[in-house]
Amino acid sequence: MQRLRTLARQVPPLSLALRWLGGLGLVLALVASFTELAEDVWFREGFAWDAPLILALHQFGRPWLDTVMRIVTQTGAGGAIALGIAVAGWFLWRRRALDAATVVISFAGAAALNTVLKLLLARPRPALFPPLVVESGFSFPSGHVTAAVALYGLLAVLLWRGRHRAWAVVSGAWVCAVALSRIYLGVHYPSDALGSLTFATLWLVVVFAVRDWYARRTGQA
């Protein structure tokens, strides 16, 4: 009887097993999606839906909307850096060094990976209409969207875990707003934004997996 009880304690509960299976399924889906996108970019095969989508969105252009999108897009560049530093500093002030380190690692790691992928795949930027902002460098994946996932996506998870559900939804939705702004402004194809969403989300999964493992190991969970 004692042996059966010991074995029962060693078997993970059903909820934990389902979470691991769900996480594995998410990782595999993200890997498959990004691999498919990156392969087509590598072989310059293109995407039939890229041009129609970016042109359709361009039809909604208005001077006031141009201004809004320029502001939104900055929250995935300098704004994201400033906010990331502020959030990391706030965590340190609250003696939450692990969360501060998670923010820094998430943002810096995503930026580094994004730079490598840009140089490796070397996709030219869209030239379907004059872009509303000036950008240099390659197009795939989008650095702004990657930064948004690494910061606002991370904050969305932390806020959700802290039961601040409304703010978590807002933070997650902001990632989509940044992605939309990059397409609207004409500096990225929709596939660039989608590629960033898939690979940066995969990176975020890895970051949280390591963070949670370390938190349990050190008793900070």
By C-alpha distance, which of 23, 56, 195 is closest to 123?
Answer: 195
Task: Give domain status of residue 204, yes or no.
Answer: yes
Domain assignment of residue 1, yes or no: no
pLDDT for 2? 52
Q: Is residue 64 included in any domain, yes or no?
A: yes
Are the beta carbons of 58 and 186 closer than 8 angstroms?
yes
**28/34 Cα distance (integer angstroms):** 10
> From CA 138, how far away is CA 8, in angstroms rounded?
54
Per-residue tokens: 120: 């490796």
Q: What is the 8-class DSSP label of residue 44?
A: T
Residue 33: inside a domain: yes
Full residue range of the structural domain in which residue 161 is found:
14-218
Half-sphere exposure of 201 (CA within 13 A, CB side): 20
The pLDDT of residue 15 is 64
CATH number at residue 142: 1.20.144
Q: Across residues 51-78, what is the average pLDDT?
A: 93
Eight-state DSSP code of residue 96: -
Query: For residue 53, what is the enclosing H or E element?
Result: helix 50-58
Q: What value does the mean pLDDT of the chain take?
A: 90
Residue bearing the bigger pLDDT, 9 or 128:
128
If pLDDT is split at 50, 70 and 90, which confidence band does 219 have? confident
Residue 11 pLDDT more than 50?
A: no
Residue 7 lies in a domain: no
Confidence of residue 218 (pLDDT cuts 50, 70, 90): confident
pLDDT at 10: 47
Count of domains observed in the chain: 1
Measured CA to CA, the distance from residue 41 to residue 47 in angstroms comes to: 9
172 domain residue, yes or no: yes
Amino acid letter for position 20: W
Residues that are catalytic: 144, 188
CB 148 within 8 Å of CB 175: yes
In Å, how far are 155, 166, 176 from 170, measured between CA atoms?
10, 6, 10
- Given a cut of 80, is residue 70 above it in pLDDT? yes
Q: Is residue 5 part of a domain?
A: no
Cβ contacts of residue 194 below 8 Å, gap of 6+? 33, 37
Q: Are 49 and 190 in contact (CB under 8 A)?
A: yes
DSSP secondary structure letter of residue 187 = S
Q: Is residue 25 part of a domain?
A: yes
Could you give the CA distance from residue 182 to residue 169 in angstroms, rounded to a whole number?
21
- pLDDT at residue number 104: 96
* Residue in this structure with the two tokens 């970016």, named with its chain if needed: 54
